[in-house]
Chain A
Amino acid sequence: MEKKKRMTWGQMKREGYLELYLMMVPVLIVLFIFKYIPMNGILIAFEDFNIFDGIFGSRFVGFENFARMFADHDFLRALGNTFTINLYKMCYYIPLPIILALLMNEVGKRFGSCIQTVVYLPHFLSWVIVGGIFVNMLSVNGGLVNEMIKSLGGSPIRFLYDSKYFIHVLAFSAMWKEVGWGSIVYLGAIGAIDQEIYEAARVDGASRLQQMFRITVPNLTPTIVLMTLMSLSNILGNSFEQVLIMYNPAVYDVGDVINTYVYRIGVNNMQYGYASAVGLFNGLVGFLFLTVSNALCRKFLDRSIW
């Protein structure tokens, strides 16, 4: 190690390292401009920022923005919604892909790959398109779901404009989009299980159901824990684009999440300092979640997320 650090210019050149560093320079510049300069949000969050005075000319206000944040009913609501929506989604997003993978492992190859082709597809569609598909299904003017409700004797529901239903629409459409894709990682883990274990179990007369619960599921546990920690680590960042596309003022009380709130007060209302403070809070809590999740992964699974 020591020797590497004391490499001379001549050596560096001979090994071609100088050329390699030069290669990275353009990318490092792009990275610096678009990822590191925006970290000046750490400063903006403590200012009464306005565009004309810039970062170094705007008035410094200390923790004023943060104090305001915790007295701001809309912010607290968005914070609560973010947790509620993402935890609710996790109730589906953790178990369903596992179940899907387990089922796909049991059926024949041909049938399985047909199912895969269908269930992976929505992952490649944008949230706008998924939004369009659900608007069409849930429309009150002839949408399929409301027609079914009507034929069962109910009255039509404006799913996207009703606080009672909006969170379910979010969870269901997210599931619709990602359940298949989420199962891939579990299918991979199942594929890595030693086939001889199944063979031995079969000789002992284990049924298919027993093999699934006694062999497949226990072997999946590390992957399940890892995926759970990964979703937890991203609990503040998830759902942003989906909500931004699908929500409307009628469902702000249940649908507004931190990032959509930041977007509205920042980009629409131009309260840059305050919006940056909320954004910074979001970034820091997200960072904390990620670090803790990763530490847990290291400790219990001997793996790390990155």
Chain B
Amino acid sequence: MKGIKGRGDRIFLAVCYTVLALLAAVIIFPVLNLIAVSVSAQTPVVSGRVRFWPVGFQTDAYRYVMQSRQFFNSLLVSLFVTFAGSFLAVACSVLVAYPLSKKNIPGRKTLLLVFIFTMMFSGGIIPSYLLIMKMKMINSVWSLILPQLVNVYNLLIVKNYMETLPEALEESAKMDGAGQLRILWSIVLPMAKPVLATVFMFFVVSYWNSYFDAKMYITKRELMPIQQYLQAVIFEAQSPAGDYGLASEATNLASQSIINATVVCAMTPMLLLYPALQKFFAKGTTVGAVKG
């Protein structure tokens, strides 16, 4: 501790605490308001009386969202893309990170450059779109998985971590005649678990939150992932049940309540993961400071 001396320090600290508390309030209040509106009755919502606590409590908005087939479809698509994508992506990261973590492998520099170059320059949106079209992957979930499969940033994190692992075990396994695949699987991967978990989380967040690929490649409603569905509900006044037009004259709910309930449902998975995420991400920033 840096100690507190005199009145000046005390005032200074009081200012620090106050500013931070205010900032936390600015961040948390919009979320509280979102939730409060989602469980409040129509009249208080429309007349703007709902602050951070529900007024005229109801849960019909959630029932309404839960009854929507479209919502569950989107949830399933997103879950599939997120988990299939993250597993494959981690596998890809490992398959490159391990060879490139060998300092003496010929061509290492060139191969690294081939990967890093794609971080610096890309062909742009349209050529990627034309490619997916040409490959007949429009309206296929694979168009949401494959283009993001190789992530150079994550790959470098895994590579850097593997470089710090002791080589003695690998060497002795090699003496015993184990192949590289075997060494990778039974010696390197178990040691690399922390970094693999971290990178897996990175991929989960990025697949779950990704929006633009679906906006380009998915036009069929039953294949929309959750973010795209949500965008339609929030910004295009599509009713959560899946029909266009205003939400619900029949349900006695403010349409804002239904929209908010949909948003809350879509952010719940991230909120549930958040404790684990915070741990992993904090570690991730220390585990592999990226450097080629």
Contact = CB atoms under 8 A, between A and B. Distances in A.
B2 A208 contact: yes
Contact of B263 (A23, A133, A147, A263): A133
Contact of B126 (A33, A44, A244): A44
A7 B62 CA distance: 66
22 contacts: A7-B106, A21-B99, A24-B99, A31-B115, A31-B118, A41-B127, A51-B133, A115-B24, A117-B278, A124-B205, A131-B231, A135-B259, A137-B33, A147-B48, A176-B30, A188-B285, A202-B3, A208-B4, A209-B12, A267-B125, A283-B124, A306-B116
A40 B37 CA distance: 49
A144 interface: yes
Given A126-B208, A131-B235, A241-B211, A267 B96 contact: no
B275 to A, nearest CB: 9
Contact of A241 (B48, B119, B212, B291): B212
A282 B23 contact: no
A131 B130 contact: no
A146 B48 contact: yes
A198 to B, nearest CB: 5
B274 interface: yes
B208 A262 contact: no
B2 A279 contact: no
B128 A38 contact: yes
Contact of B123 (A116, A119, A279): A279
A103 B234 contact: no
A16 interface: yes
Given A38-B123, A104-B20, A107-B20, 10 more contacts: A23-B181, A24-B95, A31-B150, A44-B130, A106-B13, A131-B235, A136-B34, A141-B256, A266-B129, A275-B125
Contacts of B131: 33-34, 37-38
A272 B128 CA distance: 11
A20 interface: yes
Contacts of A134: 30
A299 interface: no
B217 to A, nearest CB: 10
A263 B125 contact: yes
Contacts of B274: 121, 124
B146 A136 contact: no
B179 A19 contact: yes
B180 A23 contact: yes
A174 interface: no
Contacts of B254: 141-142
A291 B117 CA distance: 11
Contacts of A227: none
Could you say which of A20, A30, A37 has the most chain B C-beta atoms within 10 Å of its C-beta?
A: A20
B266 interface: yes
B181 A19 contact: yes
Interface string B262-287: 11001100110110011001100110
A276 B124 contact: yes
Contact of B125 (A4, A17, A211, A279): A279
A115 B278 CA distance: 13
Interface string B1-24: 011111011001100110111011
Contact of A132 (B120, B230, B270, B286): B230
A154 to B, nearest CB: 14
A216 B119 CA distance: 33
A244 B180 CA distance: 46
Interface string A72-90: 0000000000000000000
Nearest to B282: A184
Nearest to A140: B48
Contact of A119 (B5, B24, B31, B270): B24
Interface string B134-169: 000000000000110110000000000000000000
A263 B92 CA distance: 29
Contacts of A141: 46, 48, 254, 256
Contact of B12 (A135, A147, A207, A244): A207
A202 B273 CA distance: 42
A4 B104 contact: yes
Nearest to A103: B16
A129 B20 contact: no
B221 interface: no
A207 B230 contact: no
Nearest to B115: A31
B203 interface: no
A27 interface: yes
Given A124-B205, A188-B285, A276-B126, A107 B17 contact: yes
B105 interface: yes
A23 B129 contact: no
A30 B155 CA distance: 14
